[in-house]
Amino acid sequence: MPGVRLAIQTVCACVLAWAGCDRAIGAPADWAAWTSASGAPVNAVSGTIASAGGAVSVNYTGEVFFANINNTGPNYYAPATPFLSTSVPNAPPRRDIIGLQGGAGSGVHRLEFSPPVDDPIMAIVSLGQPSIQVTYDFDTPFTILSFGPGYWGGPGTLNNVGGQRLTGVEGHGTIRFIGRVSAITWTIPNAETWHGFTVGLAGPPCPCDLNGDTVVDDADFVEFVQAVNVLDCLDPEMPARCPSDFNGDSVVDDRDFVLFVGAYNDLICPE
């Protein structure tokens, strides 16, 4: 449908000019729901990540300063900015967080995923303080996706200092572990009160390819328009998991269209 493509591209150009946006983003990440805590004091927290590939059980064991589960407590993921990147367009939507102190004697902190997962992500709140740098010494390689000032202010810095070590100076942000993992462990050599985390799975890198043929073209646009007409992700008419909601706000509207046209202009999905 070359005529249709031309028409869409014309619209795209206008929307992109208006939005100042020329890059597609990843699909929304699926963040964990932490639902139970055990031990006195608490030393184990468990939950679930509802992902496109099915539910993943996630269990944390080790030192716990506090655990906010079942979406209770302050929203330490606000502002969302430090957690957002082209790979992760949405901050954790629940308030669930596992708070740590670390330090000598805090032992091994351990996360287990069942079944194993590829490239899990971790949102971190307040690693260190402006005058105290804190290190997470992981057994798994990672990359930093985003960081910046957050709930507890700044500077908000996260640094990958090599040796699978992450340092934070009042660091808020998101990191991604590399590879398939069933468990991640880390130690925290120096104590600080406090820093916390949750985990999740990033969405696919080419979310606008709704039919999965590695290009974003008119066939995807047809599916997208159908989703726009339904609008609400909770509407039973909407395809399961609402794949056209690219920004994860539970509706399919103009904001998603802006993201779609960026990917449509690119045509070929990133590797």
**Amino acid, single-letter form, for residue 92:** P
Q: Select the residue interacting with Ca ion from 22, 118, 139, 213 (CB under 5 A).
A: 213
Q: What is the DSSP letter of 140?
A: S
Question: Which residue, 87 or 244, has its beta carbon nearer to Ca ion?
Answer: 244
Q: Dig out the tokens for 141 from the structure.
A: 């390689």
Taking the complex as a whole, how short is the minimal distance between the CB of residue 193 and Ca ion, in angstroms?
7
Q: Closest Cα partner for 132 from 171, 181, 96? A: 171
Question: Which residue, 56 or 150, has its beta carbon nearer to Ca ion?
Answer: 150
Instruction: Determine the interface stretch with Ca ion among 16-24, 36-44, 46-54, 256-264 (rule: CB under 5 A).
Output: 256-264
Contact assessment for residue 101 and residue 152, using Cβ atoms and an 8 Å cutoff: no
Q: Select the residue interacting with Ca ion from 30, 63, 96, 220 (CB under 5 A).
A: 220
Q: Select the residue interacting with Ca ion from 61, 85, 126, 174 (CB under 5 A).
A: 126
Q: Select the residue interacting with Ca ion from 5, 249, 265, 266 (CB under 5 A).
A: 249
- Give the orientation angle of helix 254-266 with respect to helix 2-19, to 10 degrees: 120
Q: Is 73 left (phi over 0), alpha (psi -120 to 50) or beta?
A: left
Helix (H) or strand (E) run with residue 254 in it: helix 254-266
235 touches Ca ion by CB under 5 A: no
Q: Select the residue interacting with Ca ion from 68, 256, 258, 259 (CB under 5 A).
A: 256
Q: Closest Cα partner for 26 from 145, 144, 142? A: 145
Tell me the residue nearest to Ca ion as measured from the CB.
126
Instruction: Determine the interface stretch with Ca ion among 82-90, 91-99, 176-184, 215-223 (rule: CB under 5 A).
Output: 215-223
- 56-115 positions binding Ca ion, by CB under 5 A: none
Taking the complex as a whole, how short is the minimal distance between the CB of residue 28 and Ca ion, in angstroms?
9
Q: How far apart, in whole angstroms, are the C-alpha atoms of residue 199 and residue 210?
A: 26
247 touches Ca ion by CB under 5 A: yes
3-state helix, strand, coil in the chain (%, to 5): 15, 35, 45
**Neighbour tally for 44: CB within 10 Å:** 15
Binding mask 192-211 for Ca ion (x = CB under 5 A): ---x-------------x-x
Question: Which residue, 117 or 174, has its beta carbon nearer to Ca ion?
Answer: 174
Taking the complex as a whole, how short is the minimal distance between the CB of residue 47 and Ca ion, in angstroms?
22
Q: Closest Cα partner for 170 from 158, 156, 159? A: 156
172 touches Ca ion by CB under 5 A: no
**Neighbour tally for 91: CB within 10 Å:** 24
Q: Radius of gyration over alpha carbons of the chain, in Å?
A: 20
Instruction: Tell me which residues touch Ca ion (CB under 5 A).
Output: 126, 195, 209, 211, 213, 220, 245, 247, 249, 256
